[in-house]
Structure 1
Amino acid sequence: MDGTTKFKSKRAAKQRRHTSSETRASDVEAEGLLPHARRSRLYNLFGQIEREFEQLYADNLAMQEKLEILNDRLEQVTGTEKDADDGMDGAQSIKQSVKKSGSQISQKLKLTYKTSTSKIVSSFRASTSASQVVRDFRGHRDGVWEVTVSRTEPRVIATASADHTACIWWIQTGTCLLQYLGHSGSVNSVRFHPTLDVAVSASGDQTCHIWKANISAPQHVENLKALSSGEDDLDGSEKEYVETVDSSDDRHEPTFIHQAMVELQGHSGVVIAADWMPGGSQVISASWDRTANLYDAETGELITTLTGHDQELTNVCAHTSQKLVVTTSKDTTFRLWDFRDPSMKVNVFQGHTQHVTSAVFAGGDKVISGSDDRTVKVWDLKNMRSPLTTIRTDSAVNRLSVSPHQNLMAIPHDNRHIRLYDLNGVRIGRLPNNKRQGHSRMVCATAWAEDLSETSVVNLFSCGFDRHVFGWHINLLPKE
């Protein structure tokens, strides 16, 4: 199966899921001359064809997984030969033997590959086991578009799903504490207020809702603190996979909220994302109607509308301390809006060739952008003519995130993978993806914990089209 065709179909499916109202009408057989037996026979044949395509699709994913592993090993082989003196000597001897004899080349290449592969396989396994899933937050009935981490205590995460709900989860156990049911369309994003127990969600029903997100820890959490503290020494070698505590087992019923505190209206299309401005008194939203709206969070009043993008917006992100906002669009650009300037200074970044899917602030003076063109670019706000770094990947990039302390990027892809890079474009690794852990479909977003540390049990979260939300333990080495 053609990989490009496959990802295009997945992207089309992703766009259809974001629409404001579901068009899942029941199947009605049209009146016709075809006998019932013939029609049933055709349905059976189509079913067989569909199963064969599903098998081909699964085989294709397996082949891509093997190819990815081989590419990773080859990259590490190259790096090892560059860093080690004996590797350099071996490489030079191979180059000299190329001029002497073709048969000697073959023998030495086989020997070099065999020796280096045995070393790399062991190191590859060690690096894979160092990062693993330790929580599985289960409960959504459709794809999960976004996951975000609270900035205040108690530490919880929120998820936005195509099943029309937003949920808040207890990190320590994976328990669903609260479910917001106020939207009539897909919930495309959810973000916590910087200081209050309040959240804002954006939906395909063309509105944003501000709702109360105050929660209390489940009563049984105290009994599980010993377990959580015991997992702090997780080193990646003794525990391959830690199963989550299912909410149905711990008998904790979530709180259901059906009505918003404030409803933000004014868009004429799907609202794809919304975020809090610094201080939390205003909300900025992004829509498929090609505009971004700034609202008063207390009254819901529309303050101003930002125009300029030529196509639908795909995300919006506000700086945590300065009145800066970035909006991304399908028009292959993202824009930096400077609210500090009375004349509203706008800078347009034109570095991508396809839809820009996300842009986030990092390190105070940088912006990281990701695109369907399979690249991630690091930009300096002081010099926006060209990116500082360009990272080229093998799959479309979705809503990425940057750790606040380690300055690491977690890049989610259409091809089910999550890759880690630093801001210099150096690849740190790829999170494991197999039958036991990892996403089975497109990864939509990632989110780092604010208090990221090497000893944290869960310090990265991811969500995907497979309805799963995973909490990862990323075993990071301290900086030298």
Structure 2
Amino acid sequence: MSDIDSIVEEIQKAEPLITASRTQQVKHLILRLQEKIGQHDNRQFYLFKVLRAHILPLTNVAFNKSGSSFITGSYDRTCKVWDTASGEELHTLEGHRNVVYAIQFNNPYGDKIATGSFDKTCKLWSAETGKCYHTFRGHTAEIVCLAFNPQSTLVATGSMDTTAKLWDIQSGEETMTLTGHSAEIISMSFNTMGDRLITGSFDHTVSVWEIPSGRRIHTLIGHRGEISSAQFNWDCSLIATASMDKSCKLWDSLNGKCVATLTGHEDEVLDVTFDSAGQLVATASADGTARVYSAASRKCLAKLEGHEGEISKICFNAQGNRILTASADKTSRLWDPHTGECLQVLKGHTDEIFSCAFNYEGNTIITGSKDNTCRIWR
């Protein structure tokens, strides 16, 4: 336990708005936070519900910030909105003329949903009513990734046409096109301030763009294969990139220089993620293993071994003490990131699992599979 009085003192020094009269309140909040972090959660997850939602395979699943609802995208051209507690379908978002591939809530708000489709359009919807606010047209090929900025004023879309576009949520207008990649953009992510956007491409590079000017500040060059994923850490000082060249690289986001190459995988690295504190980097590979590295020392801390097929998705819970993986072996697995121990195997899907997510509390999991079902575990 850290000394609470000295923590409160530090906070008050740094934050003049927290006056002496608030000391007890701040102490109480820190105690609650310490309790929460200190909970050694040995929860076992059980299957709560199987949602046979779509008549064709799913493409993606995503929670809203609180985890009270989630969305599923599908080859059946729809996105469905679900209530997590009951497993009831709330809305079907209909209107796309091809596969709904990229889906996202505008977290932390969660009142809007963006859907990116192979029909070359992105649509913006009300999460509450299911009404379509805007259809963003302009891409000349499939949209395969998208992201809301943290302020929820813009949505960015990445396409097979090699460009990214930014759209104004209020007006529904395109605000800019980011050009410079020479192959499809497969991954994108805003930093927490919303003044930087990174795009990862099959041209083996990642671009860092300044928002709202749209100026390309850095091109991260060094991978020898297509990029599969690109992410900022929490304070946006580092960028992690996963590549088909079997490696993951860490980059200094201020100068665009590569600071580490994380090696060890024997096949393509298909996903990379930071824990919420930005201290750990986890990678998922086609070699059927996942790895956990220290962001500071860049050493491999744990190898997650046990899957019998490629791992396409990896994520931490918000607390940072659990990792979830989704694999082609039809299972999802729960791991301890520090020891590499497999804590639980989530079985039951009859085809590969390509998407998995924790809710914010870390007490509910959703898995999406090629078997056309989504499962809720809690």
TM-score range, shorter chain: 0.5 to 0.7
C-alpha distance in structure 2 between counterparts of 1:298 and 1:177, whole Å: 33
Per-residue CA shift, 1:440-479, capped at 9, x if unaligned? 11000211111124xxxxx111111122222111xxxxxx
Per-residue CA shift, 1:330-355, capped at 9, x if unaligned? 1111122322x335444321221101
* 1:44-55 pair list within 5 angstroms: none
Per-residue CA shift, 1:385-408, capped at 9, x if unaligned? x41111222221110211122611
- TM-score (normalizing by structure 2): 0.66
Structure number with greater Rg is 1
Per-residue CA shift, 1:354-398, capped at 9, x if unaligned? 0101111125301111101111111001111x4111122222111
1:389 aligns with 2:302: yes
Which structure has the highest strand share of the two? 2
1:259 aligns with 2:114: no
Structure 2 partner of 1:445: 355
Structure 2 partner of 1:398: 312
Amino acid at match of 2:373: H
C-alpha distance in structure 2 between counterparts of 1:166 and 1:270, whole Å: 23
1:289 aligns with 2:203: yes
1:468 aligns with 2:373: yes
Evaluate the alpha carbon distance shift between residue 377 and residue 150 of structure 1 in structure 2; reply closer, same or farther with a 3 A threshold. same
Amino acid at match of 2:135: Q
Structure 2 partner of 1:432: 347
Instruction: State the 1:327 CA deviation.
Output: 1.9
Instruction: State the 1:419 CA deviation.
Output: 1.4
- The answer to whether the 8 A contact 1:181-1:259 is kept is no
Structure 2 partner of 1:276: 190
Structure 1 partner of 2:269: 356
C-alpha distance in structure 1 between counterparts of 2:252 and 2:116, whole Å: 23
* 1:4-83 pair list within 5 angstroms: none
Amino acid at match of 1:451: E
Q: RCO (CA 8 Å, sep 6+): is it higher in 1 or 2?
A: 1
SS of the equivalent of 2:242 reads strand
Structure 1 partner of 2:60: 146
C-alpha distance in structure 1 between counterparts of 2:256 and 2:242, whole Å: 21
Evaluate the alpha carbon distance shift between residue 204 and residue 149 of structure 1 in structure 2; reply closer, same or farther with a 3 A threshold. same
C-alpha distance in structure 1 between counterparts of 2:209 and 2:79, whole Å: 21
* 1:32-431 pair list within 5 angstroms: 131-151=45-65, 155-163=68-76, 165-173=78-86, 174-177=88-91, 179=93, 187-188=101-102, 190=104, 192-195=106-109, 197-198=111-112, 212-216=124-128, 254-256=130-132, 259-260=135-136, 263=157, 264=165, 265=177, 266=179, 267-295=181-209, 304-339=218-253, 341-362=254-275, 363-384=277-298, 386-393=299-306, 394-405=308-319, 407-423=321-337, 424-431=339-346
SS of the equivalent of 2:330 reads coil
SS of the equivalent of 2:135 reads coil
Structure 1 gaps, min length 5: 1-126, 219-253, 434-438, 454-458, 474-480
Evaluate the alpha carbon distance shift between residue 314 and residue 164 of structure 1 in structure 2; reply closer, same or farther with a 3 A threshold. farther
Evaluate the alpha carbon distance shift between residue 301 and residue 382 of structure 1 in structure 2; reply closer, same or farther with a 3 A threshold. closer
- The answer to whether the 8 A contact 2:309-2:328 is kept is yes
SS of the equivalent of 1:259 reads strand
- The answer to whether the 8 A contact 1:148-1:190 is kept is yes
Structure 2 partner of 1:85: none
SS of the equivalent of 1:364 reads coil
Per-residue CA shift, 1:183-221, capped at 9, x if unaligned? 86662564644457455666667x895x645422x7xxx
- The answer to whether the 8 A contact 2:114-2:125 is kept is no
C-alpha distance in structure 2 between counterparts of 1:165 and 1:272, whole Å: 21
Evaluate the alpha carbon distance shift between residue 342 and residue 198 of structure 1 in structure 2; reply closer, same or farther with a 3 A threshold. farther
Structure 1 partner of 2:173: none
C-alpha distance in structure 2 between counterparts of 1:257 and 1:136, whole Å: 30
Evaluate the alpha carbon distance shift between residue 420 and residue 343 of structure 1 in structure 2; reply closer, same or farther with a 3 A threshold. closer
Per-residue CA shift, 1:249-272, capped at 9, x if unaligned? xxxxx4345613655153554433
Amino acid at match of 1:431: L
- The answer to whether the 8 A contact 2:366-2:375 is kept is yes
The aligned length equals 295
C-alpha distance in structure 2 between counterparts of 1:179 and 1:297, whole Å: 30
Which structure has the highest helix share of the two? 1
What value does the CA root-mean-square deviation take over the aligned residues? 3.4
- TM-score (normalizing by structure 1): 0.53
Evaluate the alpha carbon distance shift between residue 291 and residue 159 of structure 1 in structure 2; reply closer, same or farther with a 3 A threshold. farther
- The answer to whether the 8 A contact 2:80-2:90 is kept is yes
